[in-house]
């Protein structure tokens, strides 16, 4: 017998093109079905109101959203796939390991429900474009740190200009570049001077968006509280948000517990890519112009799109670190697969709920105007769970945080006698 017949041909491992195709399939499977739920002319989002970006870009996004949510979705799907590809390549550069880790990061970004609004509204398209530009700039700078040359430097600088000058939401992107230089780049090739042009671009972008960035200084709760939706992607109940609004110490207690867990993970998980991704999420949220995000409906969640991308990188890094232990190899693959399937179902339900809510109300969120400065309006907010009127100062704070609740007829009747006792007759009705 020929000895060659006993030799087994090594199985060829799946390469990058296969995983790229798999991500496109997942995208169409989860979000393509959303196109069937949106009928042209029946669902449309509110217009984008961002005076600090180019007028032609604002007009284009508004024309897409003014037609229907279907037109928004048709444009958002290719942009979303572009973000997935950037996250895939970024994970391959930073984390390394098998290609499926990059696919895991991209799929996590695609299927996370917190960013549902990017598919159906002009504002969502705005955040999708901003995130795509930010991811391209991040990827370009990582490649520059890996192997620097004039061509890569010019590409990285051009991508950074496109990410920061038109989009105020990327004002804190420079902090991520510093972190890349410090934690991702080769220490022997570290060159802090190459950051100087990026500093100048950041200063120019901040000056350009001065009115937007510093119009209202947010609190720590506004900047970092919405990150809860990254790990809890189904949103909170009205009653839960009401309880936290009337007992802030509970929210601070949970926030402190999460902070301790994050610090512990950074200490015990010996993975530099994981640490980079987690710290980069925190740095990116140090954005003075951050707008409140509704914890119940997750409206405004487009602001979390870039942090979600970094979370996907952190998840891939954590999975790669666990794969180093023989006992955790197969369980890691199984658990990440289950996570993706669960996110698929949650995202499909989120798309369905979003479209139904828009069709019923005519706009995605009654609190949309609240994020544009309505906290100065003398409005009292009534919470059905608390069954009480909220003083004006607390109502303003809840308004800024998006904690608005509906006022039913029974509640109005019960408190009709309160008029004339210091309570105004103006109530803000929000579901």
Residue 76 has pLDDT above 50, yes or no: yes
CA dist 245 and 384 (Å) reads 13
Q: Which helix (H) or strand (E) holds 389?
A: strand 388-389
Q: How far apart are CA 287 and CA 123, in angstroms?
A: 18
Average pLDDT over residues 295-310: 88
**Section 127-154 average pLDDT:** 91
pLDDT for the residue 207: 85
Query: Is the confidence at residue 62, as pLDDT, over 90?
Result: no
| CA nearest neighbour of 281 among 303, 310, 301, 305 | 310
Indicate the pLDDT class of residue 410, thresholds 50, 70 and 90. Answer: very low
Q: Is 282 helix (H, G, I), strand (E, B) or coil?
A: helix
* Mean pLDDT in residue range 370-377: 35
| Cβ neighbours, 10 Å, residue 392 | 15
pLDDT of residue 24: 92
Is pLDDT of 50 > 50? yes
The string of pLDDT tens digits covering residues 150-193 is 889 999 999 999 999 888 889 889 999 999 988 887 777 778 88
- List C-alpha distances in Å: 327 to 7, 73, 139, 332: 29, 42, 33, 9
Question: Hey, which of 34-48, 333-347, 361-375 has the most confident mean pLDDT?
Answer: 333-347
What pLDDT is attached to residue 68? 60
Least confident segment among 38-52, 135-149, 343-357, 385-399? 385-399
Q: Which residues contact 215 (CB under 8 A, 6 or more apart)?
A: 289
**How far apart are the C-alpha atoms of 135 and 160, rounded to whole Å?**
9
- Looking at residue 365, what is its pLDDT? 42
Q: Among 14-18, 230-234, 384-388, 404-408, which range has the highest average pLDDT?
A: 230-234
Residue 423 pLDDT class (50, 70, 90 cuts):
very low
Contacts 24+ apart (CB under 8 A), 182-188: 183/272, 183/275, 183/276, 183/279, 184/94, 184/142, 184/145, 184/272, 184/273, 184/276, 185/145, 185/146, 186/145, 186/146
Provide the pLDDT for residue 425.
Answer: 34
Cα dihedral across residues 107, 111, 112, 118: positive or negative: positive
pLDDT at 63: 65
Average pLDDT, stretch 114-127?
84
Q: Tokens 């105004």, residue?
A: 424
Q: Are 339 and 102 in contact (CB under 8 A)?
A: no
The mean pLDDT of 303-330, rounded to a whole number, is: 93
Mean pLDDT of the region 125-144: 93
The predicted model scores a pTM of 0.79
- pLDDT, mean of residues 69-86: 86
Which helix (H) or strand (E) segment is 26 a member of?
helix 16-27
| pLDDT for 298 beyond 80 | yes
Q: Which residue carries 């973000």 as its tokens?
A: 83
Cβ burial, residue 357 (10 Å; 0-12/13-18/19+): middle
Average pLDDT, the chain: 76
194-249 pLDDT, tens digit each: 899 999 999 988 888 777 776 666 677 778 888 888 988 888 877 777 777 677 78
pLDDT of residue 294: 80
Residue, of 80 and 418, whose pLDDT is higher: 80
Q: Return the pLDDT at 430.
A: 36
CA dihedral 38, 353, 347, 44 (to 10 degrees): 40
Q: In the beta sheet, which residues pair with residue 306?
A: none
Collect all residues with Cβ–Cβ distance below 8 Å to 400 and sequence separation of at least 6: 222, 292, 370, 375
């Amino acid at each position: 017998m020929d000895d060659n017949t006993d030799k087994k041909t090594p199985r060829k491992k799946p390469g990058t093109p296969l995983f790229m195709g798999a991500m496109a399939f997942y995208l169409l499977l989860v979000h393509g079905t959303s196109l069937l739920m949106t009928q042209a002319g029946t669902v449309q989002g509110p217009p984008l109101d961002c005076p600090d970006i180019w007028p032609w870009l604002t007009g284009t996004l508004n024309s897409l959203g003014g037609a229907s949510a279907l037109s928004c979705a048709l444009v958002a799907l290719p942009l979303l796939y572009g973000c997935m590809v950037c996250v895939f390549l970024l994970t391959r550069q930073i984390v390394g390991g098998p290609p499926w880790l990059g696919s895991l990061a991209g799929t996590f970004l695609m299927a996370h429900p917190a960013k549902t609004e990017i598919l159906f509204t002009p504002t969502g398209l705005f955040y999708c474009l901003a995130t795509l530009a930010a991811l391209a700039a991040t990827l370009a700078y990582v490649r520059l740190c890996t192997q620097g040359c004039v061509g890569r430097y010019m590409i990285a600088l051009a991508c950074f200009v496109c990410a920061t000058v038109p989009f105020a939401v990327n004002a804190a992107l420079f902090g991520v570049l510093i972190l890349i230089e410090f934690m991702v780049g080769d220490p022997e090739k570290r060159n802090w001077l190459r950051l100087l042009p990026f500093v100048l671009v950041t200063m120019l972008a901040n000056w350009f968006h001065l009115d937007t960035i510093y119009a209202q200084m947010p609190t720590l709760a506004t900047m970092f509280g919405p990150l809860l939706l990254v790990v809890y992607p189904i949103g909170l109940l009205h009653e839960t948000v009401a309880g936290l609004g009337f007992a802030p110490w509970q929210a601070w207690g949970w926030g402190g517990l999460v902070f301790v867990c994050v610090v512990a993970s950074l200490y015990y998980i010996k993975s530099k890519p994981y640490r980079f991704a987690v710290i980069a999420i925190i740095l990116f949220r140090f954005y003075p112009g951050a707008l409140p995000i509704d914890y119940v409906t997750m409206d405004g969640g487009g602001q979390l799109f870039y942090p979600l991308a970094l979370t996907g990188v952190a998840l891939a890094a954590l999975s790669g670190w666990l794969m180093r232990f023989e006992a955790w190899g197969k369980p890691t693959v199984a658990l990440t697969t289950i996570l993706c399937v669960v996110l698929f179902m949650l995202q499909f339900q989120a798309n369905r709920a979003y479209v139904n809510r828009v069709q019923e109300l005519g706009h995605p969120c009654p609190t949309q105007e609240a994020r544009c400065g309505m906290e100065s309006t003398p409005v009292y907010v009534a919470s059905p769970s608390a069954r009480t009127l909220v003083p004006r100062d607390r109502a303003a704070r809840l308004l800024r945080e998006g904690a608005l609740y509906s006022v039913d007829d029974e509640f109005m009747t019960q408190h009709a006698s309160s008029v004339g006792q210091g309570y105004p007759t103006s109530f803000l009705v929000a579901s």
